[in-house]
Structure 1
Amino acid sequence: MSSSAGPAPAGFAHRPRTYFDLIVAAYCVVLVLSNVAATKGVAFGPVLTDGGFFLFPLAYVLGDVVAEVYGFRAARRAIVTSFAAGLFSSVVFWLVIALPPAAFYEGQEAFESVLGPVPLIVAGSLLGYLAGQLLNAFVMVRIKARTRERHLWARLIGSTLVGELVDTVVFCTVAAPIIGISTLPDFLNYVVVGYAYKVLVEVLVMPLTYAAIGWLKRREPTYGTAVSPAGDAVAVR
Structure 2
Amino acid sequence: MDVITNRSSRLFIILGGFFVANALVAEFIGVKIFALENTLGIEPFNFNLFGQKGALQFSAGVLLWPVVFIMTDIINEYYGKRGVQLLSFLAIGLISYAFIMIFASINLVPAEWWLEQNATRGVPNMQNAFSVILGQGMLIIIGSLTAFTIGQLTDVLIFHRIKKWTGEKNIWLRATGSTVVSQFFDSMVVLCIAFKWGPELVGNVEPWTWNQLFAVATIQYSYKFLMALCLTPILYVAHRGIDYYLGHETSEAMKKRATSW
Bin for the TM-score computed over the shorter chain? 0.7 to 0.9
Aligned equivalent of 2:257: 227
Query: What amino acid does structure 1 have at the position aligned with 2:148?
Result: Y
Native 8 Å contact 2:28 2:134 kept in 1: yes
**Which one is further off, 215-224 or 131-140?**
215-224
Q: TM-score, normalised by structure 1?
A: 0.83
Aligned equivalent of 2:166: 147
Distance in 2 (alpha carbons) for counterparts of 1:161 and 1:218: 28
1:109 corresponds, among 116, 124, 128, to: 128
Displacement of 1:117: 1.2
Displacement of 1:131: 0.8
Q: Does the C-alpha gap of structure 1 residues 228 and 57 become closer, same or farther in structure 2, counting only changes over 3 Å?
A: closer
1:55 corresponds, among 57, 64, 67, to: 64
Displacement of 1:43: 3.1
Displacement of 1:103: 2.6
Q: Is residue 88 from structure 1 mapped to residue 118 from structure 2 by the alignment?
A: no
Distance in 2 (alpha carbons) for counterparts of 1:64 and 1:14: 23
Displacement of 1:118: 5.7
Q: Is residue 196 from structure 1 mapped to residue 222 from structure 2 by the alignment?
A: yes
Higher helix share: 2
Q: Does the C-alpha gap of structure 1 residues 20 and 54 become closer, same or farther in structure 2, counting only changes over 3 Å?
A: same
* SS at 2:34 equivalent: strand
RMSD value over aligned CA atoms?
2.3
Native 8 Å contact 2:76 2:258 kept in 1: no
Q: Does the C-alpha gap of structure 1 residues 174 and 42 become closer, same or farther in structure 2, counting only changes over 3 Å?
A: farther
Q: Does the C-alpha gap of structure 1 residues 14 and 64 become closer, same or farther in structure 2, counting only changes over 3 Å?
A: closer
Aligned residue pairs total 219
Aligned equivalent of 1:134: 153
Displacement of 1:181: 8.5
Native 8 Å contact 2:24 2:95 kept in 1: yes
Q: Does the C-alpha gap of structure 1 residues 176 and 42 become closer, same or farther in structure 2, counting only changes over 3 Å?
A: farther
Q: What are the within-5 Å matches in structure 2 for residues 159-198 of structure 1?
A: 159-176=178-195, 182-198=208-224
* SS at 1:149 equivalent: coil
Deviations 1:107-161 (A, max 9, x none): 1111011112165433221111111011102211222123221111210122012
